[in-house]
Structure 1
Amino acid sequence: MPPLGRPQLLSLSVIFVVLLLTIVASTAEFFYVYEEQFRVEGIHYTEQAEVIQASGIRGWHIFFIDPDKVARRLEELPYVRSAHVTVGFPPRVLIRVEERQPVLRWERKGTLFWVDAEGTVMPARGEGPPLLVVDPEGMATQTGPDGEIRFDPYVLDALKQVHAILPEVSTIYYDTRGGLRFILSDAQGDIQVNLGSLIGLEERLHRLPQVLREMRARGEHFGLIDLSRPDEVVVFKNPP
């Protein structure tokens, strides 16, 4: 066998060095990501430990991490609307999260949830937004294509209308008996307001400020204002 020439020796040396570097890169602890290499931004309701756990890459080699796949996993967390993952060197993982913002609390069949502006339902965690919807029968429930519980967009739109006109209302009831109703606090006592069906709600709701102005101008107090009828407002000094 003829001796190897200089070019062949150089090629073998390069191959050997590449193989050696590959072995070192794939086995050295330096190339693996652990908890201290994670940085998570944008979280308020989600714990950092939850994000790291859900990423599924703790202890992984950085060369085998797919940032887009990790982001999709993180977006399955209940409060995460979107996620962006960046992997850098020296080994580090930057996770930027946009969380869902709850706009109301939903007491559905005795269990409390949060709901965002798109009707996405989340487990309640902490104090939450001031508006509470009490729905003992779960009437505002919709089922999404994957079987997940969602908040009825028509009910959500109705609640936005109520909040726009009467931002001081903090608790709204929704049931089959009376539709939407709530309690207004007045200097002379509480006033129960029945809105009824969601159909034609906006027109009926806009009558309420005028009724309240007239009531206060006359120095009267109504215990019940019924706006559920399409063409008239019914008031009672004492609720029946």
Structure 2
Amino acid sequence: MSTASGPAELPAPEHPSRLGARVRAVFGVLILLALAGAGWQLLRWEPTLLPIRFIQVEGEVHHHSSQQLQERLTARLRGGILTTDLRQLQIAAEELPWVGHATLRRVWPDTLRVAVEEYRPVARWNFDGLVTAEGVVFRPQGQTISPNLPLLEGDDRRAPEIMARYLAWRTQLDTVSQDIERLTVDARGDWRLKLSSGVELRLGTMQVEERLARYVASALELAAAGRPLLIDLRYSNGFSVKWAPNTETGVRAHPDRVAAHASRRG
């Protein structure tokens, strides 16, 4: 028994709007690929086409420091004016021991401008470093440290405390025309001062503020009596003095005098 079959159905033709959408999508993909390729080529050739030719250093920077900074940043340049990583260059600049803060910006078409704030040293620190008024210790490399600055000695971790006391004590001693040449605190916490007059003060480990005030109150009297070499203030309410030879005033060569008899403390 045979069965009759009708003609095969043909697929309906695609709507023109759908065809246009597909064509546009293909063109969009091609454009994106072209842009990506162009971008990759730009990144590849940008350091050559738009190189950084100049590095300008702004701020109160010494010539040697400026040259050192320029050489360091030149060695770290990766890319041209558009692609170089300013954050990485900032980190590289601030790794220099004398740089407190650095700010970098691009100046079209080929210049990198660097604004630098140097640390301002107030004193030498442990013979090989410098310290700022905020107690920041830094150790410049390849630079001569001025011997005219006062010398502070102590643990780096105590630098802010030592600097704070130095500044306060400097103000107190200025009232009796004295200045601090050397301030030392050892691992035990024993404080010592060497003054511009040549006298050494032993303040000990306790009540150092009161002991320094005791010296300031007696400084003019001591200066009138002779030339003290060492004043030990580690007493509860007095001090002892070791004098330098002074034939003009008749002070004996090395007598010890206790201003107020009391037991010595730390």
Does the TM-score normalized on the shorter chain lie above 0.5? Answer: yes
Tell me by how many angstroms 1:106 deviates. 1.8
Across the two proteins, how many residue pairs are aligned to each other?
208
Larger fraction in strand: 1
Tell me by how many angstroms 1:102 deviates. 1.1
Percent sequence identity over aligned pairs: 25
CA RMSD of aligned residues (A): 3.5
The structure 2 residue matched to 1:194, chosen from 188, 196, 202, is 202
TM-score scaled to structure 2, two decimals?
0.63
Q: For 1:32-111, list aligned pairs within 5 A.
A: 32-34=51-53, 37-42=54-59, 43-44=61-62, 47-55=65-73, 57-58=76-77, 60-107=79-126, 111=127
Deviations 1:8-55 (A, max 9, x none): 9xx99xx99998898578536340113xx1101122386234323433
Asked which structure has the greater RCO (Cα within 8 Å, sep 6+), the reply is 1
Give the structure with higher Rg (CA).
Answer: 2
Counterpart secondary structure, 1:62:
coil
Partner of 1:224: 230
Partner of 1:212: 219
Larger fraction in helix: 2
CA separation of 1:53/1:151 partners in 2, compared to 1, >3 Å: closer, same or farther? farther
Tell me by how many angstroms 1:202 deviates. 2.0
Counterpart secondary structure, 1:47:
helix
Contact 1:224 1:239 in 2 (8 A): no
Aligned residue identity for 1:155: I
Aligned residue identity for 1:115: V
Once residues 132 and 255 of structure 2 are traced to their aligned partners in structure 1, the CA distance between those partners, rounded to angstroms, is 34
The structure 2 residue matched to 1:182, chosen from 182, 185, 193, is 193
TM-score scaled to structure 1, two decimals?
0.69
Q: Which runs of 5+ in 1 are unaligned?
A: 1-7, 143-149
Contact 2:121 2:133 in 1 (8 A): yes
Contact 1:44 1:99 in 2 (8 A): no
- The more displaced of 113-122 and 21-30 is 21-30
Contact 1:80 1:98 in 2 (8 A): yes
